[in-house]
Amino acid sequence: MPSLYIDGEWVASGDATCAQVVNPSDGSIVAEVDVATDAQVQAAIGAARRAFDHTDWPWSPTGERAALLDRVADLLARDEEEIARLETLNTGKAMRESRLDVQDVARVFRYYADLADKDAGRLVDASNPSIVSRIVYEPVGVCGLIGPWNYPLLQLSWKVAPALAAGNTIISKPASLTPLTTIHLTHLLEEAGAPRGVVNLVLGPGARVGQALADSADVDMISLTGGLEAGQALVRGAAVNMKKIAMELGGKSPNIVFADADFDTAVDNALTAAFVHSGQVCSAGCRAIVQDEIHDAFVDAIGQRADAIRLGHGMDDRTETGALISAEHRAKVEAYVRGAVEEGARLVAGGHRPAEADLQDGFYFRPTVFADVGPHMRIIREEVFGPVLTIERFTTEDEAIALANDTTYGLAGAVWTADASRAQRVAGRLRHGTVWINDYNTYLPQAEWGGFKRSGIGRELGPSGLDEYREAKHIWQNTAPGPMGWFGG
């Protein structure tokens, strides 16, 4: 079946180019998908442009757009097991993770369906009874939505749902490694009744297909979840046309543990923060920052627990964490591990591929823990995006905050303590877009998500996630016009 969706039609690649989709768990070929030609990318842009400029979709009643999103949420619930299976085959993550992802996607669509008609604008007091001054919100226009490979369906939904709720037209471009669930979502949008040209899907490498969206004068906005280098390239293209951008570009997230925190709970959550989805999470708690009094015991406990984590095929219900996304990505993680050892970090756990015979065909790497790390080591400074946890030590509250903020990123962080006042003080001083207190990696569709510094621009989710896809317009009406008398004569 063709896998490109352009102007309401499923089409094959214009030059018959296809890409293989690989299962990271065992290296098998899951599917072949069409790769869009340059002409097809431009055709998708043109379809979205026409649908925005020449149909009534952007000005359709918000109730109609909300109903579309609700129908999509119903279809996601209907197809939950099949979509979760596709997500696991495509990413290597455990099925229990994929099922939760699909449920979260449905919640995102329902949230924006409910929010779509909640803010029609506001009246502004002009201090003149003859003046009616209104702020109204309108869609941005044509939106290029570029998703990541680690949470391909979930994080694309954070873009698709608010973009459509606001009345935009869209061109989705999932990561080349993980397109399968975005293809399925596009089928559901079609089934739910998305008008012709409003929803489009193109597949292909980001450097060509994603960049074409950023470079096009007919695309009004680019939203990306991805790496810093990809974001920088798209920003340069978008700057030529001064288009709106929203970007989430990763993190190096600190997880601060004070000595008064419940020890076993903090250890258990630090493992989850670092090693869920083999650490391939933008907000992974990859830097544990632990107070002196419990540091050594914490290192020992984390090392023992990390060595006991069960790796396995994503479809195996016994699997606790799965494979890395590709052989190339595993090689990158291995290079970081070698570099950390060379720089003098102490390897506490992992640091190698698993020895089990049934894991040799997949892209697995053991959960890895380093202690005795220094602030200038690459393993501390750069985003590894793999199952690697570093453990730093601190003495005072100020020192913990300084370590946590000593990063060019600022996506997320956490603080563990039994002292409620200290928890609030530390959370208030952390320069990160989300801060958890005595928890990690939980989120709500109604709460904003995004980062400070190099972690991105703008916000997803919550009311601000809808605002990213809207333009504010001021309409001034003089109900009693007359001559101003500014000039004589």
- Rounded CA-CA distance 11/428 in Å is 51
Which residues lie closer than 8 Å to 362 by C-beta, 6 or more apart? 23, 24, 25, 26, 27, 92, 313, 322, 323
- Rounded Cα distance between 302 and 264, Å, is 10
Numbers of helices and strands, H then E, in the chain: 15, 20
* 355 to 91, 311, 327, 352, 370: CA distances (angstroms): 21, 11, 16, 9, 20
Find out whether 139 and 58 touch, Cβ atoms under 8 Å. yes
Element (H, E) at 351: none
Residue partners of 378: CB distance under 8 A and separation at least 6 = 336, 339, 340, 343
Strands 244-248 and 221-225 turn out to be: parallel
Q: Which residues contact 243 (CB under 8 A, 6 or more apart)?
A: 214, 219, 220, 221, 222
**Residue tagged active-site, from 97, 248, 397, 468:** 248
Say whether 18 is catalytic: no
Tell me which residue of 84, 47, 31, 14 sits closest to 201, measured CA to CA. Answer: 47
Backbone angles phi, psi at 256, to 5 degrees: -85, 130
Q: Catalytic residue, from 87, 97, 282, 383: name it.
A: 282
474 Cβ contact list (under 8 Å, min separation 6): 124, 133, 134, 135
Q: Is 97 a catalytic residue?
A: no
Q: Per the structure block, which two tokens stand in for 108?
A: 């995102």
Q: What is the distance between the terminal CA atoms of the chain, rounded to a whole angstrom?
A: 74
- Best CA proximity match to 325, nearest among 278, 390, 288, 293: 278
Active site residues: 248, 282
